[in-house]
Every structure is written in structure tokens, then in C-alpha cells.
Structure 1
Amino acid sequence: MSEYERSRTMPAQPEHVFDQAANADQLDAWLPDALHVHVQDPPAVTVHEDLSGQDMPALLRAQPDQMRLEWGTREQGSYTGWLQVAGIGSGASEVTVHLSFFDEGHDPGEGAVYDALDGSLRRLEEQVRMRADHTAG
């Protein structure tokens, strides 16, 4: 089993950050570029991976009261992950993303995973900033 985790501080209230992260219509805006989530009958979703061209049945659950998203593959159980938003004071939040690969063949490797996590957190922060600017203006 391989596990990876990254965190990033964002200049917004945790509720605002969670709302952006959990918005099913905007997941593609911050997820890794090669992944696309198609919501079917929540929590059931399908994840399309551009590199392999495969669609994978998955689950995506939002827990607003805990400001947490959880996801994973439905049938094989080879992959799970979560995103947690926490307030850190002064109107800022810390977002942590954690991935677990139970099937080593599904793990793309440390460098690729950390690049994807860092990129996703950066794009989520951009989403949060754009939404905050749009709301303020």
C-alpha cells in the first residue's frame, strides 16, 4: 500500500473553500487534468482517465458538517482518497488531500502523485480566489 498527502494554505474561510471543492459541477476545474468526474446517482460517480481512456466506477461523498470529501473506486477497492478543510484563523484555511493506493499497479508513482496533488491544490486555490473576487465585485 502507498499513501501520499499534501496540504496548502488558502486565504479564504473554510466553508468557502469546502463549497468550491465539493461543487460536483466544478470538480474538473481543480482535479488533475487527466481525470474527469461524471456524477450519476450520488454518491455513485464515474471517473474517466484520459491517459488510459478508461471509465472507472467510483464513489464520492461530501460531508459538509466535517468539511470533508471522500472518494474511492467502487468495485476493485484499489484506491481511496480524502480532502479535509480546516480553519486556521484570520480568514484562512488549510486544505489537506490524502491518497491511498491498495493496488501497487494503480499507483502512478511518488513523483507523479505529488505533482498531481500540488497542481490540484493550486487549481483549487485559484478557483477559491476567482469565486471570492467575483463575489466581492
Structure 2
Amino acid sequence: MEYQGTRTMQASPDEVFAFVSDVRNLPRYLPTTQRAEPQDGERVEGEAQGHHYQADGHFHQDPQNRRLEWGSDGEINYSGTLEVRPGGDSASEVRVHLRFEPDPQRAPNQDMPGEAPSDNQIQEGIDKALESIQNFVEGRGGKEEPSAAT
């Protein structure tokens, strides 16, 4: 399953990338994320939806291309990218792409602990994350949460 979102923001690409690439800012724009801290290498420790995670995935930064890549190492096989591109007139275009792959060793609907989010919830989470990034880089407010936790 794949999901994507794009949003134009009135901030320079360098400013937007500086904000999104700082691991400590992840809780400021990612739905359900309460804490995130950089670890050795390209690992992140934090808390999301009340669950602690530590080094169970990667978070790679490519400043030259203003691109982030992340993915899981655990039971949930997912990956994502975020790219910041010039949008003209001091604007930026931010693109997010998520990909979830079912684990062939697990039964359907057992890939995520607890209640798996619906397609609509995942898409709303992407949209709210992009809106939150825009709020911060344009100085218009803070984090937006989806109507239902994703």
C-alpha cells in the first residue's frame, strides 16, 4: 500500500529542510509522536501512540538533495521519503511518500499491533503532518492532529 501528499509552503527549501531533518522536531509535526531523539548512526529513539521505540528503524538525511528516508526493521515493514524542492518565489514544495508492505509470515490485518489505521487515517496523518510543517515554517502555529489517531 502506498500513500503520498504534497504541499507548497512560503519558506525557502533550506529553511524547510532544516526544520524537518532535525529529529528533535519530529514530535512537532508527526501525528501521535510525543518524543524523538537521535541515536547512534541513523537511529531514532522516541515515543508514539504511547509506545516506546528504540533503534528499530533508520532515519537517513540527505541534505544535498533535501531528502529524508526512513523505514522499519521490525514486524511492520514500512518506508517513507520526504523531499523538499524549490517552489518558486521563495516557496518550497514538500512531498511525502509512504509505503507499507505486508509481512508474508503474518496473517492479514496482523501487521500492526492493536487496531491498524485505515487508508483514510493514514492519508489524513500525512495531510496533517504537512499542515503542521507549514504552520511552523510559515510562523502560523503548531502541530495539527488528525481527527482519529493514526
> TM-score, normalized by length of structure 2?
0.77
Which residue of structure 2 aligns with residue 134 of structure 1? none
Q: Is the 8 A contact 2:27 2:33 kept in 1?
A: no
1:19-98 correspondence to structure 2 within 5 Å: 19-34=18-33, 36-50=35-49, 53-55=51-53, 57-76=56-75, 78-98=77-97
The 3-state SS of whatever aligns with 2:117 is coil
The 3-state SS of whatever aligns with 2:121 is helix
Aligned length: 129
Q: Which consecutive residues of structure 1, in runs of 5 or more, have no partner in the other structure?
A: 132-137
What amino acid is aligned across from residue 6 of structure 1 in structure 2? Answer: G
Higher strand share: 1
1:16-65 deviation per Cα after TM superposition (whole angstroms, max 9, x unaligned): 111111112211101113464332113011353325x2526111011000
1:91-122 deviation per Cα after TM superposition (whole angstroms, max 9, x unaligned): 11110111000126236221111110011001
Q: Is the 8 A contact 2:23 2:44 kept in 1?
A: no
What amino acid is aligned across from residue 74 of structure 1 in structure 2? Answer: D
Q: Aligned partners of 1:111 and 1:119: how far apart in 2?
A: 12
Which residue of structure 2 aligns with residue 114 of structure 1? 123
Change in 2 beyond 3 A, CA 1:36/1:3: farther
CA RMSD, Structure 1 to Structure 2 (Å): 2.0
Q: Is the 8 A contact 1:46 1:58 kept in 2?
A: no
What amino acid is aligned across from residue 4 of structure 2 in structure 1? Answer: E
Higher helix share: 1
Change in 2 beyond 3 A, CA 1:114/1:77: closer
Q: Which moved more, 1:32-41 or 1:57-66?
A: 32-41
Q: Aligned partners of 1:73 and 1:16: how far apart in 2?
A: 27
Q: Which consecutive residues of structure 2, in runs of 5 or more, have no partner in the other structure?
A: 103-108, 141-150
Q: Which moved more, 1:5-14 or 1:97-106?
A: 97-106
Change in 2 beyond 3 A, CA 1:58/1:109: same
